[in-house]
């Protein structure tokens, strides 16, 4: 009779994966029973691994609430500002003040570490270098934290969220951006709710230990939306963001209801692959009736146009070579870009312009 007498667990460097190797040998009849009991006991302990033995590698990531932790990155924005009593102007203040104004942070039973941009940035100053910095912070600390919360000004939060979603390839943990319309020290601030719920979402896990939202998202005014689908729509209301063409990923009321079907999860668990190279020759060129090429209407140096309706543009408007694509649809509610539906689209397609 054959039993395994050696079970080895190998960690594959940097991959957080394990192989269970069973080594077989022959045993005498007498020892078979004892070894069988040992084997069954070990099977019980390693049942997760054994259940997944149909593949070569098994990812084990069972985190108990004890090893939950969040990295809170404060980049700047209204959420961390305070009103100067003399001038009435909003000024950035130190992150410790933020904690002082949100004593509820102490109620979380897990570790919350912080990283502060120094000096804090108004989000209108955000640029690819700041995105790279965020990607670097996340990837350097990726294995230490359950999730990441980024406090960010609302003006360009959607751009940062979108950029990060492409720069963090293979992301398998929540990266939640949030901010507020009113500074956190102000009585009616929306910042507290946004911050506390974002932390909750960043640490939310399924019973099997997997994060519920392993995506780059924006949480604002009770809604969690996909980062690269979200647009700022309002500078006055608390409800400042909207996800066009994609459902919200979660709604926060008394309970946080996750829209699990719409949340992206990687089928095959991959290593995080951070990207730092960005093509900055991209601009949105809004095409409108009468736009003049000579007046700098169509600059071939830049890529990306916003065209009419579902992606139409007047054929004579710009020479085909100068309209560099892909062209996006003007209509925010359009679900698909109908590349070949209209004659002019087919013409541009033939010319290689779209
Ligand atoms: N100017 C601020 C910023 O985007 C506005 C805000 O945080 O809402 O940084």
| pLDDT, tens digit, 9 for 90 and up, residues 313-345 | 665 555 444 444 445 555 554 444 444 555 555
Q: How far is the CA of 324 from the centre of ligand 1 (A)?
A: 32
Mutate which of 83, 119, 124 for ligand 1 pocket (most atoms within 8 A of beta carbon):
124
Task: Give nearest CA residue, ligand 1 atom 8.
Answer: 154
Nearest Cα residue to atom 3 of ligand 1? 153
Q: Is 109 a catalytic residue?
A: no
Confidence of residue 62 (pLDDT cuts 50, 70, 90): very low
Please indicate whether residue 77, judged by its CB atom, sits closer than 6 Å to ligand 1: yes
Specify the ligand 1 atom closest to the Cα of 235.
8
Ligand 1, atom nearest to 240 Cα = 8
The pLDDT, as a whole number, for residue 310 is 64
Atom 7 (ligand 1) nearest CA:
153
**Which residue, judged by its Cα, is nearest atom 4 of ligand 1?**
153
Ligand 1 centroid distance, CA of 182 (Å): 10
Per-residue pLDDT at 328? 54
Token readout for 39 is: 């084997």
pLDDT band at 54 (very low <50, low <70, confident <90, very high): very low
Q: Which of 75, 98, 154 to mutate to test the pocket of ligand 1 (most atoms within 8 A of CB)?
A: 154
Please report which confidence band the pLDDT of residue 133 belongs to, taking 50, 70 and 90 as the band edges: very high
CB of 123 within 6 A of ligand 1: the answer is yes
Which of 78, 146, 154, 305 is flagged as catalytic? 78
The CA 77 to ligand 1 mean position distance, Å, reads 4
Kindly indicate the confidence band of residue 155, based on its pLDDT and cuts at 50, 70 and 90.
Answer: very high
Q: Mean pLDDT in the chain?
A: 76
Tokens of 332: 């925010």
Q: pLDDT by residue (tens digit) across 90-132?
A: 877 777 777 788 889 889 999 999 999 998 999 999 999 999 9
Q: State the Cα–Cα distance between residues 103 and 208, nearest whole angstrom.
A: 31
pLDDT in tens, 196-248: 999 999 999 999 999 999 999 999 999 999 999 999 999 999 999 999 889 99
The confidence score (pLDDT) of residue 313 equals 64
Mean pLDDT, rounded, for 286-293 = 74
- Give the integer Cα–Cα distance in Å for 201 and 195: 10
Residue 92: per-residue pLDDT: 76
Three-state SS string over 55-83 comes to: CCCEECCCCCHHHCEEEEEECCCHHHEEE
Compute the average pLDDT of residues 14-21. 31
């Amino acid at each position: 009779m054959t039993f395994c007498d050696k079970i080895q667990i190998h960690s594959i460097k940097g991959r957080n994966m394990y192989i269970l190797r069973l080594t077989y040998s022959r045993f005498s009849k007498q020892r078979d029973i004892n070894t069988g009991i040992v084997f069954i006991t070990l099977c019980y302990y390693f049942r997760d691994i054994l259940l997944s033995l149909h593949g070569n590698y098994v990812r084990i990531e069972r985190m108990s609430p004890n090893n939950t932790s969040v990295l809170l990155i404060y980049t700047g924005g209204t959420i961390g500002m305070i009103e100067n009593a003399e001038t009435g102007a909003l000024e950035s203040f130190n992150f410790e003040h933020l904690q002082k104004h949100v004593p509820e942070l102490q109620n979380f039973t897990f570790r919350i570490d912080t990283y502060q941009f120094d000096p804090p940035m108004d989000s209108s100053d955000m640029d690819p270098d700041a995105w790279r910095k965020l990607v670097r912070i996340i990837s350097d600390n990726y294995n230490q934290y359950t999730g990441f919360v980024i406090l960010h000004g609302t003006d360009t939060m959607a751009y940062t969220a979108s950029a990060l979603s492409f720069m963090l390839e293979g992301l398998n943990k929540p990266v939640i951006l949030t901010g507020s319309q009113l500074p956190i020290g102000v009585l009616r601030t929306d910042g507290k709710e946004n911050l506390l719920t974002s932390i909750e979402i960043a640490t939310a896990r399924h019973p099997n230990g997997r994060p519920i939202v392993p995506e780059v998202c924006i949480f604002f005014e009770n809604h969690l939306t996909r980062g690269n689908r979200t647009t700022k729509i309002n500078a006055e209301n608390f409800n400042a963001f909207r996800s066009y063409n994609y459902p919200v990923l979660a709604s926060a009321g008394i309970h946080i209801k996750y829209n699990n079907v719409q949340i992206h999860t990687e089928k095959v668990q991959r290593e995080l692959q951070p990207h730092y190279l960005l093509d900055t020759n991209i601009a949105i060129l809004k095409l409108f009736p009468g736009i003049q090429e000579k007046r700098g209407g169509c600059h071939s140096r830049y890529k990306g146009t916003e065209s009419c309706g579902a992606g139409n543009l007047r054929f004579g408007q710009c020479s085909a070579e100068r309209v560099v694509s892909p062209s996006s649809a003007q209509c925010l509610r359009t679900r698909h870009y109908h590349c070949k539906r209209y004659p002019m689209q087919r013409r541009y397609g033939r010319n290689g312009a779209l």
